[in-house]
C-alpha cells in the first residue's frame, strides 16, 4: 500500500525524516517496501514570466523571449508556438536537471544565446490527467500571478514523499491512510487525530429513489447505499488528483475519484452507480447464475458462475463483488 506522507500528517504529527520514519515503522511491525520522492529528478526549475517576445532573426520557427524569474531577466530561445507575452511558464535554468537524465546548459540556437529552457508538462513528468487544460505539444502555461522564481515543485505540488508498505493478511486494519496513521502514532508515541465525519441528510426518503436487497447474506451481511442528486461530472480538484496519484491511483472524474479517495483514506470500499442506468432502480446483492454473462469495463463479455458474488440491478449484474 502506498501512503503519501502529507496525507498521513493530516492525522499524525510525523517530525522525523522519511528514512527514519520507514525504519521505525518496519521495526514496529509495518514493513516498508520502499520510499518514493516525487519530483526528485527535477532541480532548478522555477516560475517565470514572459516579458518580451520577438521572432528569431535567422529562423522562422524560433522565438526569442525575455523571461523574468524574479531575481533577474534571462533570455530563452524556444520553438514553442503556444506562448504569448505575459504568460507564466516553468523555466529550467542553467544547471537544471529534468526526468530522463536531462541537464540544461547555456547554448546558442541559430546564433542567438539561450540561457535556460521553457518546459512542457511531459518534461516535468506530468500528463494530461494531471492538468487536463495543459497543451499536449507545447509549453506548460501556468496560472497568472504565481511568485516569480519559486521552485516549480512547490508551486505544482510535485514534491510528495510516498512510503510503500507491505500489509500482511492479518492486518487489514492497516489497509488505509487512517490505519497507517494510527499505527504511526503508536510507533512514535504521539497523538492520533481521528477524522471527524458529519453527514447531512437532505431531501425526501431515499426509498422513493432506489432500493437495496441482499439475497446472499452469508457472503455479504450488509450493503449500504446513498442517493446523491444534482451531480455534475467533471475533473476533480487538483489537490485530490495529486493525492490519488501519489497513492498510485489514476484520476478518472470527480465521482469516481471521491469514492477511491474515501476507500484509500478509511479502508471502506465504495462504488458509484448512475441511478438512471440501474434497471428498476434496484441494487441486488446475489450470486451469479452459472453461465450468466457480464459486460465489463474493458469491453469484454465475461462468463460468471454460481461461486461469484455480484452486485446486480433489477435485471443484470453491474459489478463483481
Asked whether the beta carbons of 285 and 222 are under 8 A apart, the reply is no
Phi and psi dihedrals of 246, rounded to 5? -65, -30
Q: Where are the domains of the chain?
A: 2-38+160-188, 43-156, 206-320
Handedness of CA 125, 128, 131, 133 (dihedral sign): positive
pTM of the model: 0.80
Which pLDDT value is given to residue 105? Answer: 93
Instruction: Determine which helix (DSSP H) or strand (DSSP E) holds 157, and give its type and residue range.
Output: none
**C-alpha distances in Å from residue 153, one per residue of 41, 250, 308:** 11, 20, 46
Asked whether the beta carbons of 35 and 25 are under 8 A apart, the reply is no
Q: Does domain 43-156 have CATH number 2.40.50.140?
A: yes
Asked whether the beta carbons of 319 and 293 are under 8 A apart, the reply is no
Asked whether the beta carbons of 104 and 92 are under 8 A apart, the reply is yes
Distance of alpha carbon 93 from alpha carbon 70, whole angstroms: 13
Q: In the block, which residue shows the cell 490519488?
A: 244
Phi and psi dihedrals of 25, rounded to 5? -65, -40
Considering the domain delimited by 206-320, tell me its CATH architecture: 3-Layer(bba) Sandwich (3.50)
Distance of alpha carbon 52 from alpha carbon 36, whole angstroms: 39
One digit per residue, the tens of pLDDT, for the chain of length 321 reads 999 999 999 999 999 999 999 999 999 999 999 999 988 899 999 999 999 999 998 888 899 999 999 999 999 999 999 999 999 999 999 999 999 999 999 988 888 999 999 999 999 998 887 787 888 789 999 999 999 999 999 999 888 999 999 999 999 999 999 999 999 999 999 999 998 888 888 888 889 999 999 999 999 999 999 999 889 999 899 899 989 989 999 888 999 999 999 999 999 999 999 999 999 999 999 999 999 999 888 889 999 999 999 999 999 999 998
Asked whether the beta carbons of 91 and 48 are under 8 A apart, the reply is yes
Which pLDDT value is given to residue 190? Answer: 97
Q: What is 2-38+160-188's CATH number? A: 3.30.56.10
Amino acid at each position: 500500500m502506498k501512503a503519501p506522507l502529507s496525507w498521513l500528517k493530516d492525522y499524525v504529527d510525523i517530525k522525523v525524516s522519511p528514512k527514519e520514519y520507514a525504519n521505525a515503522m518496519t521495526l514496529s511491525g509495518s514493513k516498508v517496501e520502499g520510499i518514493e520522492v516525487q519530483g526528485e529528478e527535477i532541480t532548478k526549475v522555477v516560475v517565470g514570466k514572459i516579458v518580451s517576445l520577438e521572432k528569431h532573426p535567422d529562423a522562422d520557427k524560433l522565438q526569442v523571449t525575455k523571461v523574468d524569474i524574479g531575481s533577474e531577466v534571462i533570455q530563452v530561445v524556444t520553438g514553442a508556438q503556444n506562448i504569448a507575452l505575459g504568460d507564466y511558464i516553468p523555466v529550467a535554468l542553467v544547471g537544471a536537471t529534468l526526468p530522463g537524465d536531462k541537464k540544461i546548459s547555456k547554448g546558442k540556437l541559430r546564433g542567438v544565446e539561450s540561457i535556460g529552457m521553457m518546459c512542457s508538462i511531459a518534461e516535468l513528468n506530468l500528463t494530461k490527467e494531471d492538468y487536463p487544460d495543459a497543451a499536449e505539444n507545447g509549453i506548460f502555461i501556468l496560472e497568472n500571478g504565481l511568485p516569480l522564481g519559486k521552485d516549480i515543485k512547490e508551486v505544482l505540488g510535485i514534491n510528495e514523499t510516498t512510503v510503500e508498505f507491505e500489509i500482511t493478511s492479518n492486518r487489514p486494519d492497516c489497509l488505509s491512510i487512517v490505519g497507517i496513521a494510527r499505527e504511526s502514532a503508536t510507533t512514535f508515541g504521539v497523538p492520533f487525530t481521528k477524522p471527524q465525519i458529519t453527514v447531512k441528510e437532505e431531501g425526501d426518503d431515499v426509498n422513493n429513489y432506489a432500493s437495496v436487497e441482499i439475497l446472499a447474506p452469508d457472503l455479504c451481511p450488509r450493503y449500504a447505499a446513498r442517493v446523491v442528486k444534482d451531480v455534475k461530472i467533471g475533473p476533480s480538484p487538483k489537490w485530490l488528483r495529486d493525492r490519488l496519484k501519489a497513492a498510485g491511483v489514476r484520476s478518472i472524474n470527480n465521482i469516481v475519484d471521491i469514492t477511491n479517495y474515501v476507500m484509500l483514506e478509511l479502508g471502506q470500499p465504495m462504488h458509484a452507480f448512475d441511478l438512471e442506468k440501474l434497471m428498476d432502480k434496484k441494487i441486488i446483492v446475489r450470486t451469479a447464475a452459472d453461465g450468466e454473462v457480464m459486460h465489463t469495463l474493458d469491453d469484454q463479455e465475461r462468463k460468471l458462475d454460481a461461486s461469484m458474488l455480484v452486485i446486480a440491478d433489477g435485471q443484470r449484474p453491474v459489478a463483481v463483488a
